[in-house]
Structure formats: structure tokens, C-alpha cells
Amino acid sequence: MRTIAYISGKIEIKNRECFVGDQKVDCPQTGKAFTTVGDKLNLLPQIPFLEKRSDPIFLVIILAIVIFFSILAIFRIKIFSKTLREYIKPIWYFILISLAAVTWQYLFGIKIDDGLMSLKISQWVWEICIALSAYKLVKNLNFGYGNLFFLGVLYSFIIHGLKAVIRYLFYEKTFLYLIDRFLYGTLLVMLIVFIGGSMFLFLRRRGMIKF
């Protein structure tokens, strides 16, 4: 007769094998891709070319992003008829709260053993900040869909760019994992921006709500 054992506890992934404590168990969510060190990938398949780390390449990427946004700010280049200052100034405090939530998550939240509730709360904080930012910009600056798209891009670099830096510097993650998590986080940001922003735009254009 076949015996089925039920094991309760937190499943940890080590080298693409799953353990509860010291006991090896079957991995859940079969069909998912993992990095060579066992990190789960949400979107990307296993890509050996990206399974590496390189400080010079990472620094060049970060520098290129900083230069890009600096050029937008210094030369007041308009993106969908708005300058970077017009995007950031009305919502700067939401941006600071989002950065604080991400920083708290990695400094303190990740160390709290409460069933991931602290991490969920910190995520809810920056998600709410994104939704409120979309509402305020649609209300006060007459933002359209193009502006909402760039707002999503901006928040993706602010929040998930910071997460990528932390994961690379302090958790020694590979480019494959960083890119996968950045893309996954960007999709989440875009959904929040477009679902919330589209609802506000629809109500404003139909005259159902006067801002």
C-alpha cells in the first residue's frame, strides 16, 4: 500500500530542491522556472546567458538610467506634453512614502516572522501611493493615457529599480532574477496605474464625477 505523508511548515528552495526543515519534499507549482540557485522566476524562462553577476555592467546600467532622467529634468524635455517636474512635483510625498516602504521592507519587514504579513503591508503602502498619484495627476493636471503610461514607467524605476539595487548589492542576485522581478513588478505597477487612472478618466469625461 502507498503511504501519503502530510508535512506542514515553510517550504524552502535550495538548488531547485524543496525542503521543510531538513526534510526534502516535492516542490509545489510544478512547471515554474528557477534560477540555478533556486530562486523562482515569475515571467522569464531559464536563460543561462543572464545567470551571472557583473559589477561594471550593473554600474553602467544604473548610471545610464540616472543620466537619462537627469537629461529629462535638466533640459525640461516633455513626455506626452509634460515635463519630468510636472510628473514628480505634485506627488513627491507619495514617492518618498513608497521609497520608505521599500526600504523598511528590506531592513525590517523581511526579518519579521509573521507569515509575510509585514511584507504584504509594505507592498500595500506603495500600491496605494501609486493609485493616489494617478488620481491626483488626473484630477489636477488633466493627465491622459499617455501620461499614465509614463507615470507607470517612472514608478517602476523608482520602486523596482530600488529593489533591484538592494537585491544585487545585499542579496547577490543574478541579472536573470533581477530582470524577471523588475518586469513582474512593472506589470503590477502598470495594472494599478491604468486600472485606477482609466476609471478616473472615464468618470471625468462622462461628467459623472467633477474633479
Which one, of 45, 43, 25, lies nearest residue 35 by Cα? 45
Which one, of 5, 54, 82, lies nearest residue 176 by Cα? 54
Res 115: pLDDT = 78
Region 42-55: what's the mean pLDDT?
94
Read off the pLDDT of residues 185-195 as tens digits, 9 standing for 90 and up.
Answer: 999 999 999 88
Assign 111 a pLDDT band (cuts: 50, 70, 90). Answer: confident
Distance CA 180, CA 170 (A): 18
Read off the pLDDT of residues 171-183 as tens digits, 9 standing for 90 and up.
Answer: 999 999 999 999 9
Q: Is the confidence at residue 56, as pLDDT, over 50? A: yes
Using only C-alpha atoms, the chain has a radius of gyration, in whole angstroms, of 21
Assign 29 a pLDDT band (cuts: 50, 70, 90). Answer: low
Percentage of residues in the chain with pLDDT exceeding 90?
62
C-alpha grid cell, residue 68: 537619462
